[in-house]
Amino acid sequence: QSVLTQPPSVSEAPRQRVTISCSGSRSNIGNHAVNWYQQLPGKAPKLLIYYDDLLPSGVSDRFSGSKSGTSASLAISGLQSEDEADYYCATWDDRVNGVIFGGGTKLTVL
């Protein structure tokens, strides 16, 4: 069971907007920046959002991140079939003195 809690799955129709939540605590999200990774089927994870809400170069601005207190969210607008993937939140945790990942959320575009 992950220290960071994500919904196991979300689904939405094409062109719609979906959000994925990531819930933690003061020792992790409450104290450190949150990053999001996208893992397409059969591929390695890829950095999607860093430092809570920043987009790496080359990542579509349909993706956005936010954080409030001990929770973070990833939003994807204008859903496309190519967005079907597993999404993971991650951050540093002071108690484990290391990186922790959320359990991952599988996005299905209906």
Partner 1 sequence: QVQQSGSELKKPGASVRVSCKASGYTFTTFAIHWVRQAPGQGLEWMGWIDTNTGRPTYAQGFTGRFVFSLDTSVSATYLQINTLQAEDTAIYYCAREYRWNYRQYFDYWGQGTLVTVSS
Interface ranges with partner 1 (CB under 8 A): 2, 32-33, 35, 37, 39, 44-47, 50-51, 56, 86, 88, 90, 92, 96-104
* CB-nearer residue toward partner 1: 37 or 63: 37
* CB-nearer residue toward partner 1: 18 or 102: 102
The structure tokens 């990053």 sit at 35
Residue 66: CB minimum distance to partner 1, A: 16
CB 107 within 8 A of CB 10: yes
Phi-psi region of 42 (alpha: psi -120 to 50; beta: other; left: phi over 0): left
Residue 30: HSE in the Cβ half-sphere, 13 Å Cα cutoff: 9
* CB-nearer residue toward partner 1: 56 or 78: 56
